[in-house]
Amino acid sequence: MHSLRFDGTFATWRQAARRALLQGLAPHQLQWLDEEAAPGLFDQPAERAPEPNGRLRVSPELLELLESAAQYRGDERWSLLYRVLWRFVQGERSAVLAGDPDGSELHRRLKAVRREAHHLHAFVRFQPCTVAGAPDFVAWFEPAHDILASASNHFAERLGKHSWLIATSRDGVYWDGQRLQHEHRCPAQWQAWAQQSEDDGQALWRAYYGSTFNPARLNRTVMQQHLPTRFWKHLPEGPLIPQLMSEARAGAQRDGQALVLAGRKGKRIAQINEGDASRPPSGCVSGSDAPDLPR
């Protein structure tokens, strides 16, 4: 068994995988170890092997596929990639197809990575940072997979010349207005900036969210599918969501408006039953005129 230690990045894995392929090492002969992994009981100091000679022909499309799948955190993270690469080089093109066991797992991981990138775009909440030397906007996020470096350009296109950073417990990205800097290990200073105390805008947003929450339209299952509970703690409105859902279960769903508004003087917006959907009560907004309110 050959134990290969590397720094946990795709670039260094690719170099190690190339050497292993040229040496003819099959997948079952290799053990991939991140530098942070504790040494095994029977691990021996690795000797620097001579650089093998030879050339490999691997399509750019396959390398792009493997690089995307490498962002997935899970068991056999790097072993699966090498197994697919080994089989492909040996002529088994089916290794990357969804009908193949390895290919099926590869595509499942790619799907999970794409979904986590969508979560980053949807649930990151930037807030202004007034600390000297800090970027204009900061955010804290806890992704399930290593998608930060590849998915953060989304914000560079939208925030223009403003500087910003996104910090996680692992890595971090910093946009200075012109260039995106990714750190494999997030600096402590970045993490401190991103976890600063909230500003006045957060309280304003919570007031808006609470007043526009519609208990009559609440579907707990659908909501948690689109807004997983693991993100709630990092959203300004996160602390409100359990309370609003609890009030809806306790009877607030009879109203088509937030409880704080339904209790005030004036006409109450009643819940619309499915059979009466074509005849909304007076005062309700329906159809294309209805605002897209938070669920």
Residue range 214-272, pLDDT digits in tens? 777 888 899 888 899 999 988 888 988 998 888 877 765 565 556 666 666 665 666 55
16 within domain boundaries = yes
Residue 210: per-residue pLDDT:
84
pLDDT digits (tens, 9 = 90+) for 106-123: 999 999 999 999 999 999
Are 68 and 167 found together in one domain? no
**CB neighbour list of residue 232: distance below 8 Å, 6 or more residues apart:** 238, 239, 241, 242
268 within domain boundaries = no
104 within domain boundaries = yes
Are 14 and 83 found together in one domain? yes
Helix (H) or strand (E) holding 137: strand 137-140
- Angle formed by the axes of helices 101-123 and 77-89, nearest 10°: 130
Are 165 and 215 found together in one domain? no
Boundary of a domain, candidates 116, 136, 153? 116
Are 104 and 6 found together in one domain? yes
Are 179 and 211 found together in one domain? no
Are 16 and 105 found together in one domain? yes
Are 190 and 210 found together in one domain? no
| Contact criterion met (CB below 8 Å) for 175 and 156 | yes
Report the alpha-carbon distance of residue 216 to residue 254 in Å, rounded: 6
Residue found under tokens 């769903």:
253
Report the alpha-carbon distance of residue 248 to residue 30 in Å, rounded: 55
Average pLDDT (201-219) is: 84
CB contact burial 78-104 (16+ within 10 A = b; e otherwise)? bebbbbbbbbbeeeeeebbeeebebbe
Are 9 and 99 found together in one domain? yes
Give the chain's domain count. Answer: 3
Are 37 and 105 found together in one domain? yes
267 within domain boundaries = no
Kindly list the distances between the CA atom of residue 268 and the CA atoms of 61, 74, 263, 282, 292, in Å, as whole numbers in the listed order. 58, 51, 8, 10, 20
**CB neighbour list of residue 140: distance below 8 Å, 6 or more residues apart:** 166, 167, 168, 191, 194, 195, 234
Domain of residue 172 covers 124-196
Are 135 and 111 found together in one domain? no
Higher pLDDT, residue 256 or 95: 95
Are 23 and 110 found together in one domain? yes
Report the alpha-carbon distance of residue 267 to residue 138 in Å, rounded: 42
pLDDT band at 284, cuts 50/70/90?
Answer: very low
34 within domain boundaries = yes
Boundary of a domain, candidates 196, 214, 241? 196
Boundary of a domain, candidates 116, 150, 171? 116
Pick the range with the lowest mean pLDDT from 41-45, 75-79, 162-166: 41-45
Are 144 and 79 found together in one domain? no
